[in-house]
Structure 1
Amino acid sequence: MLGFSNLDVIALAFFAASWVGYHYAVELGPHAGKTLNMRMNLRRARWINESMARDNRIVDTQVMNGLQNGTAFFASTSLIAIGGTLALLQSTDRVVAIFSDLPFVPVTLRAVWEMKVIGLAGVFGYAFFKFAWSYRLFNYCVILLGALPPKDEPNAVAKAHAVHEAIEMNIAAGRHFNRGQRAFFFALAYLGWFLGPVTFLAFTGAVLVAMYRRQFASDAARVFNYPSQQ
């Protein structure tokens, strides 16, 4: 297939299946509620509910600004990564010659190299769209935080609606940020393809295990393992 071996196709299929499977496991699967991301979503809800007890919400806006700044950093990094990746296309002949001299690396055709580079740029492009949208959603979160009624608001229905909107927007922003970071991690696995399909398979497996462990068995995940935690 266009200069790709059968093992290349298998490695790429494993990469795509790992990405989709991980997405299902941490967001939709039967154990998704036990992931670090989902447990943090409960803390996002607690944060917004706690903010309703404060008349002065300066601390809350500062926390939100920190989330925005972090998202903006990753969005900018994505653009730099896209530019750097596409710049490799200008040095295709030189890079192919260098890789041809490396031991244990299969000979790479020019068209194959260019398609791999374009694929990597696509991964970073996906990450940029996720981070940019997350940044926009955090902007909306700031507005919804400012729209929260005072703690002594007599209209319980209006208060509940305002809190619900702020919580759900915050969770949505965090969800898209997590998907952008996921693309970054899988981009590291994708880099293994430039060294051959076997390395691609190994890198994808290593990244998948590391990410899965972070969600279910990392030191951060164990923070919420106290019996009293929900």
Structure 2
Amino acid sequence: MAGFTLWDVFAVVFFLAAWIFYRFVNERGFWGHQSLSVLMNRHRRGWMESMAARDSRIADAGIMASLQNGAAFFASTSLILLGGAAATMRAADDVLKIAGDFSFGPAMTRGMWEAKVMGLALVFGYAFFKFAWAYRLFIYAAILLGATPAPDSPDATARDFAARRAGAMTIDAGLHFAKGLRSFYFAFAYLGWFAGPFVFVATTIAILVIVMRRQFFSAARRALTDD
């Protein structure tokens, strides 16, 4: 599109590459270390194994409900942000007039502004679908939790299989929820593009460092492992 420079193209490619890189290392590991998210999957499995051995599962149902509410909250937030992006696009002329009064930031045409806002809307749209699917999966996990045979059931094999199945569903729900949160993190990096491609690269690096630290070098991770 007219108005964008090669630096803009480079910044967008760098942004996407950083997002993909973080997704890869978050799920596969970094320097031989597993991420906080992956380590928590073990405890999700352990939770379902413990649940299968309990007579009363009221607490388990309450935890599952809180996870559902969290996914629903962020899905609703994503829709609100999508609406905000649409409103900003409609008010492009007013926004550009205000932005023109600032001494920093590159000059933008209406087409450039709309393209950038559209990209931001795509990020929020992706987040909505991830959170909405996570919400659905948490509901499925709750159903599987309720379908797990009682600890005094004579068929221990069926009970163990049901617990593993519920754990796998919970892990998948958590995976999609994490992808939605990742979209929010990188949406902050994307905002740097409105100040120029170099700021865009800088904000992308900053967000990447923050999320990598939380997944691999945080106190929360150290609470789960000794490495």
TM over 0.5: yes
> Conserved in 2, the CA contact under 8 Å of 1:25 and 1:31?
no
Measure the CA separation in 2 of the matches of 1:32 and 1:141.
31
Q: Find the aligned partners of 2:31 and 2:138 in 1 and give their Cα distance.
A: 27
The equivalent residue for 1:117 is: 117
SS of alignment partner, residue 100 of structure 2? helix
| 2:86 pairs with 1:86 | yes
Count, aligned residues: 227
2-11 or 114-123: bigger deviation:
2-11
Q: Is residue 32–residue 38 contact of structure 1 (8 Å, CA) maintained in 2?
A: no
2-structure distance, mates of 1:214, 1:176: 18
Q: Distance in 1 between matches of 2:54 and 2:166?
A: 15
After superposition, residues 46-195 of structure 1 pair within 5 angstroms as 46-195=46-195
CA RMSD of aligned residues (A): 1.4
Is 1:25–1:32's contact at 8 Å kept on the other side of the alignment? no
Give the whole-Å Cα distance in 2 for the aligned partners of 1:85 and 1:32.
40
What secondary structure sits across from 1:34 in the alignment?
coil
Unmatched 5+ residue regions in structure 2?
none
Q: Which runs of 5+ in 1 are unaligned?
A: none
2:17 is equivalent to residue 20 of structure 1: no
Q: Distance in 2 between matches of 1:134 and 1:33?
A: 26
**Residue identity (%):** 51
Instruction: Give the counterpart letter for 2:21 in structure 1.
Output: G
With the length of structure 2 as denominator, give the TM-score of the two structures.
Answer: 0.96
Q: Is the 8 A contact 1:54 1:151 kept in 2?
A: yes
Corresponding letter in the other structure for 1:167? G
Q: State the shift of 1:94 in Å.
A: 1.4
Matched to 2:103, the amino acid is P
Q: 1:33 to 1:43 in 2, by over 3 A?
A: farther
Task: Work out the CA distance in 2 between the residues paired with 1:24 and 1:165.
Answer: 25
Question: Residue type of the partner of 1:38?
Answer: V
Tell me by how many angstroms 1:166 deviates.
Answer: 0.2
Q: Distance in 1 between matches of 2:2 and 2:189?
A: 22
Aligned-pair CA distance for 1:32: 7.5
Q: Which amino acid aligns with 1:84?
A: G
Structure 1, 20-29 or 200-209: larger mean CA deviation? 20-29
Please give the TM-score of this superposition, normalised by the length of structure 1: 0.95
Output the CA distance in 2 between the equivalents of 1:170 and 1:76: 21
CA distances 1:96-143 after superposition (whole Å, capped 9, x unpaired) = 122222122110011000000011000000000000000000000110
Residue 218 of structure 1 corresponds to 218
Runs of 4+ in structure 1 over 4 Å off: 29-33
